[in-house]
Chains A and B, each alone.
Chain A
């Protein structure tokens, strides 16, 4: 019983530290903004509101349409991210799974490499 209690307490103690760190990070990021908002005098002018102090004024809507290439990169990233998620438990358990696990993971990677070859062959990895 007491071991259970210690186990649960240690588990949550670690995450309590992370939570405290997160709260401190948020405060650390927000305090300068809040101080600047409180202390700085608010006198907006035409020159002050320009986006750049020097340089060419940008034209057009900032919400412009993007090239579809961005989406394709994000797509490949999602798929190979999920592959990495499955690779991680395999790598941790590598000593326990033997040859069978190695073959299973090799087949898994080979199937996914197929899609990489497809992307490469279609020339979608190059930025045009």
Chain B
């Protein structure tokens, strides 16, 4: 258990770090996918099997591909070696992020008395309970998600197709 947890979390942290630090954007996206897979492994350790499957299906399968296509549409992939990749004031960014980690996140975790063992050990891992919950108390949330997805698709299509092209369509 602890071995699997250590391996997965080390993979997750290292690949996340590489994903935000690599110069080549395609490599960054591939390490991001490795990060998603490692996180799916952590979900399995926490007995959330369905969410691990969803993580792989949505993030690795769909969002990763989407990011790759977006990179190919914005051309600058390999990155010029001479060009700066850091933002202005990147050191301040590093300091700010470290401050958030050291003063907000870690003390809050370490000071709180947290359970060492799960309260309920045996969890029904079936998807059926999830479906039953999704249908009765969360039916409205489901419709809101449908609306959100529709709006996102329409909005993204309108934003992404080039203005010249939509003008051509108006004429025809």
- Do A and B touch, yes or no (CB under 8 Å, in the complex)? yes
For chain B, the count of residues having a C-beta within 8 Å of the partner chain is 50
Asked if B157 and A78 sit within 8 Å, CB to CB, the answer is no
Indicate whether A34 reaches chain B with its CB closer than 8 angstroms. no
Contacting residues of chain B (46-91) with chain A, CB-CB under 8 angstroms = 47, 50, 54, 57-58, 61-63, 65-66, 69-70, 72-73, 75, 77-78
In the bound complex, residues from chain A placing their C-beta under 8 Å from that of B44 are 15
Indicate whether B122 reaches chain A with its CB closer than 8 angstroms. yes
Residues 1-36 of A, flagged 1 when their CB comes within 8 A of B and 0 if not, give: 001100110011001000100000000000000000
| A66 vs B65: C-alpha distance when bound (angstroms) | 14
Asked if B162 and A111 sit within 8 Å, CB to CB, the answer is no
- Select B62's contact among A68, A72, A74, A108, beta carbons within 8 Å: A74
| Closest chain A residue, CB of each to CB of B50 | A89
Indicate whether B95 reaches chain A with its CB closer than 8 angstroms. no
Asked if A68 and B160 sit within 8 Å, CB to CB, the answer is yes
Asked if B131 and A75 sit within 8 Å, CB to CB, the answer is no
With A108-B146, A118-B154 already in contact, the answer to whether A78 and B66 are too (CB < 8 A) is yes
Count, A-B residue pairs, CB within 8 A: 149
| Closest chain B residue, CB of each to CB of A113 | B150
In the bound complex, residues from chain A placing their C-beta under 8 Å from that of B131 are 88-94, 96-97
| A50 vs B94: C-alpha distance when bound (angstroms) | 44
Asked if B65 and A72 sit within 8 Å, CB to CB, the answer is no
B130 CB to closest chain A CB (Å) equals 4
Indicate whether A114 reaches chain B with its CB closer than 8 angstroms. yes
In the bound complex, residues from chain A placing their C-beta under 8 Å from that of B153 are 75-76, 79, 115, 118-119
- Select B132's contact among A64, A66, A70, A93, beta carbons within 8 Å: A93
Asked if B157 and A122 sit within 8 Å, CB to CB, the answer is yes
| A85 vs B44: C-alpha distance when bound (angstroms) | 17
| Closest chain B residue, CB of each to CB of A128 | B165
- Select B150's contact among A63, A101, A111, beta carbons within 8 Å: A111
| A86 vs B138: C-alpha distance when bound (angstroms) | 12
Residues of chain B touching chain A, judged by Cβ–Cβ distance below 8 Å, are 1, 4, 44, 47, 50, 54, 57-58, 61-63, 65-66, 69-70, 72-73, 75, 77-78, 121-122, 125-132, 134-136, 139, 142-143, 145-147, 149-150, 152-154, 156-157, 160-162, 169
Residues of chain A touching chain B, judged by Cβ–Cβ distance below 8 Å, are 3-4, 7-8, 11-12, 15, 19, 63-66, 68, 70-72, 74-79, 81-86, 88-94, 96-97, 100-101, 104-105, 107-108, 111-112, 114-115, 118-119, 122-124
Known contacts A89-B127, A108-B145, A115-B149; 7 additional CB pairs below 8 A are: A12-B1, A65-B72, A77-B62, A82-B145, A86-B142, A91-B131, A111-B147
